[in-house]
Chains A and B, each alone.
Chain A
């Protein structure tokens, strides 16, 4: 991300907008400036702020006059008056910052969109997590802290040692050079992203060890984490396994994402394939 120094009027509206706190007014030039190490290329400053296209010289003059007589104009807080932000062309490895941080950008480097996969959101259509199995989405960096890939690797290596199966279509899995050990590409280890989601699957018997490992590793890596843990409900729509077990282990969960079971395969080719598979299995 860049700020056109000829356009910026140092109004400072963009400073609180940045989720990483990477923007500041540089007193040497009196312009908004981006700390490129802290910036994760999420695009929130460019995409999230409304833009006026005012003449920078005119705005600076008005601001100077108002300041001279101690007048304070209170603008809308989410507006860049001169549309000073622009996105520059990013190359690897910095490109991963944008791919993992900007929610509307397509994963051109991985071929995947978004930070995770369909997870259990489409478990009614494509069974990913069955009864007795447990799916995990381990999110790093959000809210408001960010995370380096080297810290994510610390966790994926630990999970690899515990025998966790990494979700193959997950964008972080795509960044691994070894999907068993959890080793991540070396060239991106020092890149910071706004958030990353590691997805794994285990049996219910392995759950306690995985959750212990997550807490243990989080103490070593300087970021925040959030764990989502999922399972398939029984034929009555009840979860009599995972939820009670989590409570027994002392975990509390106020909120959940619930798949209502309304999805099914409707693509014609896929339906025919499923039908053929069914016939083959009965024969």
Chain B
């Protein structure tokens, strides 16, 4: 479970958003799948991921016992090893890349590892197609996103929707996205700090901090 299909934006806005995920099929290839999924994550970790997740936890996650001093100096170091080590059950593991080159390099190594598990890529239609071709693969199946249908005008502005829909389970609220945009505009948080805050709400690790940072910087630089 990752729900990476529906992200708000046009094809160009996905130029820094490539998600590779590896999924076991229940009853068909889930025996020994946990180790293969850890191997998938280990491969991805070598190719500059922006985020990773194992279905239960992500690179950036909330702290159950936060030290109050964190308000002045919060640790935002990605915890790749934690995500890999805690992938103990067959399910879905995912990695987010900010360049096509990194995603392709990871995919090539995943192909060579011959895990036998399904590997999918979520990005623009053409982005995934060219990745497959460059890696010598023929696409098996494709699921297109027809975008969001909002006949009752519920959705806020595009920057907020872009930030919120990067968690496919809806855990990044419109209000939190809006608050981070405001904090960055007001100089109360850096874009790097703000995206880490947003990414912590996405338990699957598919939130893209690199794309979110770009959206926040655009919102700051084009405000007014």
- A interface list, Cβ under 8 A from B: 15-21, 42, 44, 47-54, 74-79, 103-104, 113-116, 118-126, 129, 135, 137, 139, 141-145, 194-195, 211, 214-215, 218-219, 222-233, 235-239, 242-243, 246, 251-268, 270
20 contacts between A and B (CB under 8 A): A17-B175, A103-B3, A137-B143, A235-B138, A238-B139, A243-B142, A246-B144, A252-B146, A254-B11, A254-B145, A255-B14, A255-B123, A256-B123, A257-B122, A258-B125, A258-B128, A260-B140, A262-B116, A263-B25, A263-B118
A253 to B170: give the CA distance in the assembly, Å. Answer: 21
Are A268's CB and B31's CB within 8 A? yes
Interface presence of B158 (CB below 8 A) = no
Among the stretches B57-65, B78-86, B212-220, the one at the interface with A is: B57-65
- B interface list, Cβ under 8 A from A: 1, 3-7, 9-11, 14, 21, 23-32, 56, 62-68, 70-71, 74, 92, 107, 110-111, 115-125, 128-129, 132-133, 135, 137-152, 154-156, 161, 164-165, 168-176, 178-180, 183, 188-189, 197, 200-201, 203-204
Are B118's CB and A259's CB within 8 A? yes
Are B144's CB and A19's CB within 8 A? no
Are A230's CB and B142's CB within 8 A? yes
Are A264's CB and B29's CB within 8 A? yes
A52 to B64: give the CA distance in the assembly, Å. Answer: 7
Q: Report chain B residues within 8 Å CB of A16.
A: 173, 175-176, 178-179
> Pick the contact of B138 from A233, A256, A257 — CB < 8 Å?
A233
Question: Assuming A17-B201, A231-B142, is B155 touching A255 (CB within 8 A)?
Answer: no
Are A258's CB and B139's CB within 8 A? yes
* CB-nearest residue of chain A to B203: A104
Are A237's CB and B175's CB within 8 A? no
Interface residue SS majority, chain B: loop
Are A194's CB and B188's CB within 8 A? no
Question: Assuming A50-B66, A144-B164, is B173 touching A18 (CB within 8 A)?
Answer: yes
Question: Assuming A75-B71, A118-B26, A125-B118, is B146 touching A226 (CB within 8 A)?
Answer: yes
Question: Assuming A76-B71, A233-B139, A254-B147, is B29 touching A263 (CB within 8 A)?
Answer: yes
Are B62's CB and A47's CB within 8 A? yes
* CB-nearest residue of chain B to A258: B128
Are B138's CB and A261's CB within 8 A? yes
Are B128's CB and A103's CB within 8 A? no
Q: Which of B3, B71, B123, B125 has the most CB of A within 10 A?
A: B3
A74 to B183: give the CA distance in the assembly, Å. Answer: 11
Q: Report chain A residues within 8 Å CB of B68.
A: 52, 54
* CB-nearest residue of chain A to B200: A78
Are A226's CB and B148's CB within 8 A? yes
Q: Report chain B residues within 8 Å CB of A104.
A: 56, 203
Question: Assuming A144-B174, A223-B152, is B10 touching A262 (CB within 8 A)?
Answer: no
A108 to chain B, nearest CB (A): 16
Are B110's CB and A262's CB within 8 A? yes
A2 to B11: give the CA distance in the assembly, Å. Answer: 41
Question: Assuming A44-B201, A50-B66, is B7 touching A255 (CB within 8 A)?
Answer: yes
Are B1's CB and A115's CB within 8 A? yes
**8 smallest A-B Cβ distances: which pairs?**
A237-B138, A261-B140, A263-B118, A230-B143, A16-B175, A114-B1, A103-B169, A253-B144
A144 to B174: give the CA distance in the assembly, Å. Answer: 7
B212 to chain A, nearest CB (A): 14
